Structure 1
Protein backbone atom coordinates (compact mmCIF):
# COMPACT_ATOMS: atom_id res chain seq x y z
CA UNK A 1 0.00 0.00 0.00
CA UNK A 2 1.29 3.45 -0.95
CA UNK A 3 1.89 6.12 1.71
CA UNK A 4 -0.77 8.52 0.48
CA UNK A 5 -0.32 10.94 3.37
CA UNK A 6 3.10 11.91 2.02
CA UNK A 7 1.90 12.80 -1.46
CA UNK A 8 0.52 16.27 -2.14
CA UNK A 9 -3.08 16.26 -3.25
CA UNK A 10 -3.55 17.35 -6.85
CA UNK A 11 0.20 17.56 -7.48
CA UNK A 12 0.94 18.56 -11.06
CA UNK A 13 3.59 17.06 -13.31
CA UNK A 14 7.07 18.58 -13.09
CA UNK A 15 7.16 21.61 -15.38
CA UNK A 16 3.40 22.25 -15.19
CA UNK A 17 2.19 25.45 -13.51
CA UNK A 18 -0.69 25.55 -11.05
CA UNK A 19 -3.24 28.39 -11.28
CA UNK A 20 -1.36 30.67 -8.87
CA UNK A 21 1.94 30.19 -10.74
CA UNK A 22 0.19 30.82 -14.08
CA UNK A 23 -1.29 34.05 -12.69
CA UNK A 24 2.17 35.14 -11.53
CA UNK A 25 3.61 34.30 -14.97
CA UNK A 26 1.08 36.74 -16.43
CA UNK A 27 2.32 39.36 -13.93
CA UNK A 28 5.91 38.68 -15.05
CA UNK A 29 4.80 39.09 -18.70
CA UNK A 30 3.34 42.51 -17.84
CA UNK A 31 6.58 43.47 -16.07
CA UNK A 32 8.53 42.27 -19.11
CA UNK A 33 6.37 44.40 -21.43
CA UNK A 34 6.98 47.37 -19.10
CA UNK A 35 10.74 46.86 -19.33
CA UNK A 36 11.24 45.80 -15.68
CA UNK A 37 11.98 42.12 -16.44
CA UNK A 38 14.37 41.02 -19.18
CA UNK A 39 13.75 37.25 -18.93
CA UNK A 40 12.10 34.60 -16.78
CA UNK A 41 11.75 30.83 -16.82
CA UNK A 42 9.47 28.53 -14.84
CA UNK A 43 11.52 26.13 -12.68
CA UNK A 44 14.64 27.48 -14.41
CA UNK A 45 17.09 27.00 -11.50
CA UNK A 46 17.82 24.19 -9.05
CA UNK A 47 19.89 24.71 -5.90
CA UNK A 48 21.67 22.04 -3.84
CA UNK A 49 21.09 22.74 -0.15
CA UNK A 50 22.66 19.56 1.27
CA UNK A 51 23.25 15.95 0.25
CA UNK A 52 20.06 14.76 -1.46
CA UNK A 53 18.30 18.04 -0.64
CA UNK A 54 17.46 20.45 -3.44
CA UNK A 55 15.35 23.55 -3.86
CA UNK A 56 13.76 24.54 -7.17
CA UNK A 57 12.14 27.97 -7.01
CA UNK A 58 9.08 28.48 -9.18
CA UNK A 59 10.66 31.17 -11.38
CA UNK A 60 14.15 32.32 -12.30
CA UNK A 61 13.82 36.02 -13.11
CA UNK A 62 16.38 38.35 -14.67
CA UNK A 63 15.59 42.01 -14.14
CA UNK A 64 16.26 44.68 -16.74
CA UNK A 65 19.42 45.73 -14.86
CA UNK A 66 20.79 42.17 -15.16
CA UNK A 67 20.16 41.12 -11.54
CA UNK A 68 19.06 37.49 -11.17
CA UNK A 69 16.32 36.56 -8.73
CA UNK A 70 14.60 33.35 -7.64
CA UNK A 71 10.84 33.72 -7.07
CA UNK A 72 8.80 31.25 -5.01
CA UNK A 73 5.05 31.61 -5.60
CA UNK A 74 2.55 30.31 -3.05
CA UNK A 75 -1.10 30.63 -2.26
CA UNK A 76 -0.02 29.89 1.31
CA UNK A 77 3.60 29.62 2.53
CA UNK A 78 4.22 26.25 4.17
CA UNK A 79 7.00 25.93 6.75
CA UNK A 80 9.20 23.61 4.63
CA UNK A 81 9.15 26.04 1.68
CA UNK A 82 9.95 28.93 4.00
CA UNK A 83 12.93 27.07 5.50
CA UNK A 84 14.31 26.06 2.09
CA UNK A 85 14.13 29.59 0.67
CA UNK A 86 15.91 30.98 3.75
CA UNK A 87 18.68 28.36 3.53
CA UNK A 88 19.12 29.00 -0.20
CA UNK A 89 19.28 32.76 0.38
CA UNK A 90 22.08 32.23 2.91
CA UNK A 91 24.03 29.95 0.56
CA UNK A 92 23.71 31.61 -2.86
CA UNK A 93 24.52 35.20 -3.97
CA UNK A 94 21.23 36.21 -5.54
CA UNK A 95 17.97 37.67 -4.31
CA UNK A 96 15.30 35.19 -3.28
CA UNK A 97 11.72 36.44 -3.31
CA UNK A 98 8.64 34.79 -1.79
CA UNK A 99 5.45 35.85 -3.55
CA UNK A 100 2.08 35.11 -2.00
CA UNK A 101 -1.24 35.78 -3.68
CA UNK A 102 -3.49 38.19 -1.80
CA UNK A 103 -7.23 37.69 -1.46
CA UNK A 104 -9.33 38.41 -4.52
CA UNK A 105 -10.80 41.39 -2.69
CA UNK A 106 -7.34 42.89 -1.98
CA UNK A 107 -5.83 41.73 -5.27
CA UNK A 108 -2.16 41.57 -6.19
CA UNK A 109 0.78 39.93 -4.50
CA UNK A 110 2.52 40.07 -1.12
CA UNK A 111 6.30 40.09 -1.74
CA UNK A 112 8.98 39.18 0.82
CA UNK A 113 12.69 39.39 -0.05
CA UNK A 114 15.41 37.24 1.52
Structure 2
Protein backbone atom coordinates (compact mmCIF):
# COMPACT_ATOMS: atom_id res chain seq x y z
CA UNK A 1 0.00 0.00 0.00
CA UNK A 2 1.42 3.39 -0.95
CA UNK A 3 0.79 6.76 0.63
CA UNK A 4 -1.93 8.93 -0.93
CA UNK A 5 -0.98 11.81 -3.22
CA UNK A 6 -0.66 15.13 -1.40
CA UNK A 7 1.10 18.28 -2.58
CA UNK A 8 3.04 19.36 0.49
CA UNK A 9 6.44 19.61 2.12
CA UNK A 10 6.29 17.41 5.22
CA UNK A 11 8.43 18.38 8.21
CA UNK A 12 11.95 17.04 7.77
CA UNK A 13 11.47 16.19 4.06
CA UNK A 14 14.08 18.66 2.73
CA UNK A 15 16.63 17.58 5.34
CA UNK A 16 16.08 13.90 4.52
CA UNK A 17 16.66 14.61 0.81
CA UNK A 18 19.84 16.56 1.62
CA UNK A 19 21.15 13.66 3.75
CA UNK A 20 20.24 10.72 1.55
CA UNK A 21 20.01 11.69 -2.11
CA UNK A 22 22.97 11.51 -4.49
CA UNK A 23 23.99 14.55 -6.53
CA UNK A 24 25.88 13.97 -9.76
CA UNK A 25 26.91 16.17 -12.63
CA UNK A 26 25.32 15.27 -15.95
CA UNK A 27 25.48 16.88 -19.37
CA UNK A 28 23.84 20.28 -18.99
CA UNK A 29 23.34 20.28 -15.22
CA UNK A 30 22.98 18.01 -12.20
CA UNK A 31 20.86 15.01 -11.25
CA UNK A 32 19.55 14.51 -7.72
CA UNK A 33 18.34 10.99 -7.02
CA UNK A 34 17.28 8.77 -4.16
CA UNK A 35 14.25 7.34 -2.42
CA UNK A 36 11.41 9.71 -1.59
CA UNK A 37 11.40 10.26 2.20
CA UNK A 38 7.60 9.92 2.22
CA UNK A 39 6.69 7.06 -0.12
CA UNK A 40 10.09 5.34 -0.28
CA UNK A 41 10.04 4.97 -4.06
CA UNK A 42 13.10 5.76 -6.20
CA UNK A 43 12.93 9.16 -7.87
CA UNK A 44 15.09 11.85 -9.39
CA UNK A 45 15.10 15.55 -10.17
CA UNK A 46 17.24 16.98 -12.96
CA UNK A 47 18.39 20.57 -12.74
CA UNK A 48 19.61 22.08 -15.98
CA UNK A 49 22.13 24.88 -16.26
CA UNK A 50 20.57 27.90 -17.94
CA UNK A 51 22.94 29.75 -20.22
CA UNK A 52 22.00 32.87 -22.10
CA UNK A 53 23.14 32.92 -25.70
CA UNK A 54 25.35 35.84 -26.75
CA UNK A 55 23.19 38.56 -28.21
CA UNK A 56 19.99 37.26 -26.60
CA UNK A 57 17.69 39.89 -25.21
CA UNK A 58 16.45 39.07 -21.71
CA UNK A 59 13.33 40.58 -20.28
CA UNK A 60 14.40 44.09 -19.13
CA UNK A 61 13.02 43.36 -15.65
CA UNK A 62 15.28 40.30 -15.24
CA UNK A 63 18.36 40.59 -13.05
CA UNK A 64 20.97 37.87 -12.68
CA UNK A 65 20.94 36.01 -9.37
CA UNK A 66 23.46 37.16 -6.79
CA UNK A 67 23.58 33.91 -4.84
CA UNK A 68 22.24 30.37 -4.81
CA UNK A 69 18.87 29.94 -6.46
CA UNK A 70 16.23 27.70 -4.87
CA UNK A 71 15.55 24.53 -6.86
CA UNK A 72 12.27 22.65 -6.65
CA UNK A 73 13.01 18.99 -5.83
CA UNK A 74 10.01 16.68 -6.19
CA UNK A 75 9.02 13.07 -5.78
CA UNK A 76 8.62 12.00 -9.38
CA UNK A 77 8.24 8.25 -8.82
CA UNK A 78 6.28 6.13 -11.28
CA UNK A 79 4.28 4.14 -8.70
CA UNK A 80 0.55 4.78 -8.29
CA UNK A 81 -0.64 7.03 -5.47
CA UNK A 82 -4.32 7.28 -4.58
CA UNK A 83 -5.81 10.66 -5.46
CA UNK A 84 -3.06 11.70 -7.87
CA UNK A 85 -4.38 13.95 -10.66
CA UNK A 86 -4.20 12.63 -14.22
CA UNK A 87 -0.97 13.45 -15.99
CA UNK A 88 1.05 13.78 -12.78
CA UNK A 89 3.73 11.54 -11.32
CA UNK A 90 5.06 11.02 -7.80
CA UNK A 91 3.39 11.22 -4.43
CA UNK A 92 3.15 15.04 -4.47
CA UNK A 93 5.83 15.73 -1.88
CA UNK A 94 8.38 18.41 -2.78
CA UNK A 95 10.61 21.12 -1.36
CA UNK A 96 12.79 23.98 -2.46
CA UNK A 97 16.49 23.37 -1.81
CA UNK A 98 19.55 25.49 -2.51
CA UNK A 99 22.24 23.81 -4.57
CA UNK A 100 25.71 25.04 -3.68
CA UNK A 101 28.81 24.32 -5.73
CA UNK A 102 31.64 22.51 -3.97
CA UNK A 103 34.30 24.90 -2.77
CA UNK A 104 37.85 24.17 -3.99
TM-score by length of 1: 0.21
Which structure: larger Rg?
A: 2
> 1 or 2 for the larger relative contact order (CA 8 Å, sep ≥6)?
2
Structure with greater strand share of residues: 1
Structure with greater helix share of residues: 1
TM-score by length of 2: 0.22
